Structure 1
């Protein structure tokens, strides 16, 4: 049985597509033709073949699974999910169908749902005809665990994958990424070393190892690794981004900006380049250019850029614009504690104190142990001359954090009450 291999990226989100097995029925034969077109990069042609396979045999689950992944490649996400669901409906014992759906949900940010499907795929592991596909399912599971901070479980998943195939460089690369996120930097470097030992021309491992050296402030090693990665494969924008960060860290800000300029010319839709260049302009206090770059990335839907844009507007006392940026973020990704506090702060600066308290209360509900929302709420109460409530709030701050500003506010309020 042939399977379409997953394609690993620097972020190690891996795709797995089943292409079926069994006797050469017309549907199976057409499905294999679709596979060949997929391998050649002709997704539209592959899609047409999978349509033909389904017409030939509407109960052939593999064709639905494959068509679903082609829809995913083409950005047709509703159609992709519908086909994945159909594949499981037709054959609920196909582990690859669950693995594909798990990958899809992971890519859509639905991590918990993804894990349920990946668990289901692994529960059916005896049904994997190709054990490499089982290994890839473990890798996707490990990446999913990493996204929710379940690092130990993630490492266990990667080790399961490596137990199946200890010679797959992408598995070590994926494990290194999770170890980096876990802040186990030396172990991450060891994982990247293993990947490079397997393939000394593996650009992603050099680039990722270089990023860890950057985090460790070992800039000479970091720069050597990213330069090696670029020499091997000059088509990976993330590596250029790391190179720019390194030059910025060693004080070569203009060089960093030149790298970002090159990236934006070559990859005009790569948001991190706009954010990186915007940050460099921000350090130079070139606020207009910084705001332009953040705005471009934000208009492309980048959440980090929305936050950066919001902070910059607030710094420039452009509170209504700042509120718009933070609220745009909140619509896409609600319940971010710090963003809710910033929205509250924006309303506070506009003297809309009751509205500010609404957002502070939302933040407190999300994290009742963090002091910041209590402190900001206390200020809004103080500005409304609700001194008793403000005093209670500042005292509550001190039960969470020994904040000097809260002590000063308590002193001021007590003097005000006495006098």
Structure 2
């Protein structure tokens, strides 16, 4: 009875700290509760939430998996798992987690939203056309905004989401938000380059016009745009087939379709990322390194999410770590850290240095 009371006290204290935004102390209390009762799935779930708030997504994922293992019909565990996987860039796995959770709790709005975001990212997200309205379909741009370190915190802000919804329905309302610097940061994240402050931009003319309605565009330009769109569409179709095979653990067939997708759109770094992951699942370290280096080359030329590029370096480092080549592992983890900082990378670097000193 005393143990149960201790566990309850630790959980209550943890919840109080979490509500106040003191996530580190919340984690400490949940950890004490888990020490007292390692079979308490709620404590693992709550600690997962606090870890996620501190952007410790690997730890959040581990706790979510533990909660599910302890109670397989615990829907919130799948919600925690899906969210952590999203932030780690493992979209297909996140999609499966949300689908499983919704089987247990079909009306859960958080998982419904997460599933839509995953489906939008798997189907695209399409490259942002600066002439078209980038806010027309908010679900397709949320994954990119979550990835960007300057906009990730906005996505949880209700006023920010209302702004996106308004701009999606009324693009000429841009004038209303000129003083909101979140607009500039959002457009910069979507377009892939830094914009000047919105109050210096000219919005006197309608900013969004569909190419098909713009008579000033030449037929040649229109044809090139159409060809590019068709190529990206075919690449997405091949990628989706590859993702399905990956989910079935048929990695060779998945790679075959990723290669076809790359033939259609060699500038999409997510295709190389998925291909490298499939090689990693097979333990083909040399192919992982070659594909990841190709990703980095494309990223340097064509741009893309910094987190995906960092993950490429991290995968290379992981292959060297498995082979106990700690010097090369450390070098690639350092490259990854320069591109996109994370607690996980810092731990990996420390691990390599410790191994080399031992």
TM-score, normalization by structure 2: 0.42
Greater C-alpha Rg: 1
TM-score, normalization by structure 1: 0.37
